[in-house]
Amino acid sequence: MNKDSKIYVAGHRGLVGSAIMRKLEAEGYQKLVSRMHAELDLTDQKVVDAFFAKERPEYVFLAAAKVGGILANSTYPAEFIRDNLLIQTNVIDSAYRHGAKKLEFLGSSCIYPKHAPQPMMEEHLLTGPLEPTNEWYAIAKIAGIKTCQAYRDQYGFDAISLMPTNLYGPGDNFDLQNSHVLPALIRKFHEAKENDDSEVTVWGTGSPKREFLHVDDLADAAVFLMNEYSDREFVNVGVGEDLSIRELAEAIKEVVGFEGGLVFDTSKPDGTPRKLLDVSRLRSLGWEAKIHLEDGLRTTYSWYLENATKSGEAPIRS
Ligand SMILES: NC(=O)c1ccc[n+]([C@@H]2O[C@H](COP(=O)([O-])OP(=O)(O)OC[C@H]3O[C@@H](n4cnc5c(N)ncnc54)[C@H](OP(=O)(O)O)[C@@H]3O)[C@@H](O)[C@H]2O)c1
């Protein structure tokens, strides 16, 4: 990409899309194109094609998707598979048809089999059954990887795919009904401190292990790979190390400054025992995560305090 290349970021107000916008602006990219969901519904093939015919972006970051936690996935399975299939197919097809040079598709580490060997390597894709609670979303994301490979094989379209691990950071969703574990714990400890509670309850046994990548690191990798990587094989994007939910809860308790106790509600589901990405392919390309979890938790909590409303609603995205 040149600094005056025309770049479209789909989903620019989301956790990932807003981080990619920040990164591109910080690196001096001038011609950034974006549309709000209300202005451009990416599930509508006609309006998507009209948008690409008009704007003709050279580079596309596909960070728009219907995203949610376990509860949302199991409550709205049809919407999760339909909307994600429509969004990615419309954007990939129209980007190709209207002469884009390159597209970067963002999937997620939930594409891997529930009992994949750990750490999960790219070649473990489609080697076993998926985690049932988010299979609709995972199937759509796997179809996205295959769509990029198919457009490359048939048309020579330079579409690449990234599979990030669990992300966190500014712009995250702190709504306890459908947020991921890390933002949910930040809010729970913050509110417990505010209310002088004696303890915080964490779902599950605390023993599952998870990997967390700061979204600004992801944005750095996304721009790096858009500039440096062109291949049909997708790339895992992660830190390459994980920690238990108990260790994460203790780290967040420390950052928030909550002095009460920790209780584990073992009646709640643990989910998969471990979910760690193998990042040797990414490392071999010369990229490594830079933001340590402790530092990332501190800056994310500061962002939460600046943006969280007293009513407990999810913070308003800037
Ligand atoms: N969050 C994670 O931990 C994580 C981890 C790995 C990979 N990823 C991947 O990163 C990508 C982005 O996820 P995210 O966490 O940034 O999600 P997010 O914060 O929910 O952002 C998604 C964005 O897409 C927009 N969008 C959704 N449906 C749309 C539609 N029909 N038309 C136009 N815009 C639409 C949303 O706009 P509205 O909010 O206005 O609907 C939102 O701005 C996804 O592909 C996801 O798989 C995320």
Q: Alpha-carbon torsion 173, 206, 251, 293, what sign?
A: negative
Nearest atom (ligand 1) to Cα of 110: 6
Residue to probe by mutation, ligand 1, list 49, 67, 216, most atoms within 8 Å of CB: 67
Q: Where are the domains of the chain?
A: 6-308
**Active centre residues (catalytic):** 137
Ligand 1 mean position, distance from CA 267 (Å)? 30
Would you place residue 139 in the very low, low, confident or very high pLDDT band (cuts 50, 70, 90)?
Answer: very high
Q: Decide: 275 and 108 in contact? Cβ < 8 Å.
A: no
Nearest CA to 296 among 168, 166, 179, 187?
A: 168
Q: Kindly state the average pLDDT of the residues 11-25.
A: 98
Nearest CA to 60 among 78, 72, 44, 48?
A: 48
Q: Kindly state the average pLDDT of the residues 105-133.
A: 95
Q: Kindly state the average pLDDT of the residues 223-238.
A: 98
Judge whether residue 85 has pLDDT over 70: yes
Which residues have CB under 6 Å of ligand 1? Answer: 11, 13-17, 37, 40-43, 63-67, 83, 87, 106-108, 164, 166-167, 180
Which DSSP helix (H) or strand (E) runs through 91?
helix 77-97
Q: Kindly state the average pLDDT of the residues 33-54.
A: 98
User: Beta 243-244 vs 209-210: how paired, if at all?
Assistant: antiparallel
Q: Which two tokens stand for residue 112?
A: 């891997």
pLDDT, tens digit (0-9, with 9 covering 90-100), for 285-315: 999 999 999 999 999 999 999 987 554 444 4
In angstroms, the CA 176 to CA 254 distance is 20
In CATH terms, the fold of domain 6-308 is Rossmann fold (3.40.50)
